[in-house]
Chains A and B, each alone.
Chain A
């Protein structure tokens, strides 16, 4: 059970940490906010795991293969390109 959900007395709750996790992961946090955020992570395994899961989710998404262009669309576009060249 989480006992140090607001470890420095005036920092974030776990629910708040989760709500602004992407600001942290995106490097979009103000420095003073970041300090309070990281203090929370130092004391809270639950939130540390959550942040880790968010990172892992992003990493897994990045390993997916991209959508491939349908062959038909590609050949149609190449035909258009050739036609424009002749004009």
Chain B
């Protein structure tokens, strides 16, 4: 079994880790809390936009997890189990605070076109569905510009501006590096929905980057 990419104990190590937590090993807990924070925070923000509310959700999840550690059966990884707890608490919290969640926040709201349809030729033009003009070749952009601080700032801002569910999926998948299966389990969504949310998110962030890099 290959461990998850972000340095957290994988399935094989979970038993060991839980033993250390039960034994009151504070440094093990501190490391776990620090390492898992980005993913827990990202899941929470999939439901609650406000950062401090998301932190409260993370805190509440840890309280629940520590009290329920004996109920962890090891059928998923400890990380997936924790992320599921975060998702449940965040969802309850969002509903309680009467944010509009007519159905699950991770259902797909619309069939938004992934890329501006005006970029393509219309049905009655020659070559319908073809590019009007090609995207630029980013490989010709000097690294000093492509990998400049400003570029990363743009990416970060574009991700922060995404709708909650897209933001959560893109952060978990692309920024933190979880695999698709774990994201589906953590958020309780289907593979298809996960992929559509990720696609929409990447397409929006790409468009922001394009606007900046082509300027």
Contact = CB atoms under 8 A, between A and B. Distances in A.
Interface of A: 1-3, 5-6, 13-16, 18-19, 21-23, 26, 28, 45-47, 49-50, 52-54, 56-58, 60-64, 66-70, 73-74, 76-78, 80-82, 84-85
Given A14-B120, A18-B114, A74-B34, A61 B159 contact: yes
A73 B180 CA distance: 29
Interface of B: 6, 24, 26, 29-30, 33-34, 37-38, 41-42, 55, 58-59, 62-63, 66-67, 113-115, 117, 120-121, 127-131, 133-139, 146, 151-152, 155-156, 159, 170, 174-177, 180, 191, 195-196, 198-199, 202-203, 205-206, 209-210
Nearest to B206: A57
B202 A64 contact: no
Contacts of A49: 134-138
Contacts of B195: 22-23, 26, 28
A-B complex: 8 closest residue pairs judged by Cβ atoms: A13-B129, A5-B130, A22-B199, A46-B134, A66-B38, A69-B37, A61-B174, A85-B24
A11 to B, nearest CB: 11
A73 B114 contact: no
B177 A74 contact: no
